[in-house]
Amino acid sequence: MFKLFYTLLIIEYVVEDQDVSTSVIFPSEKACYDAFGDGVLDNLYDVLADTYGKEIMMYCKKTPFPSSEPTKPQPRP
């Protein structure tokens, strides 16, 4: 059995020499990385880069808080 943990998608950028950070919470690390893989964030990145410059960081950070009951791995065939 293994646990899933809430994971934050953190977006950091700079506005007029001020660091800005915002986050979106996902139910698991996989869900956070899937958002990257689906290209969902590409448009947001482009808008932020065009508006504020290329000092942008986006990354996933797992929290210590479980998001659900422990999950049982699938049995092998």
Exposure on the CB side of residue 74, measured as CA atoms within 13 A = 2
The conformation of residue 19, written as its DSSP 8-state character, comes to E
pLDDT single digits (tens) 39-73: 888 898 999 999 998 889 999 999 999 887 556 66
**For residue 1, what pLDDT band results from cuts at 50, 70 and 90?**
low
What phi, psi does 11 have (nearest 5°)? -120, 120
For residue 20, what pLDDT is reported? 95
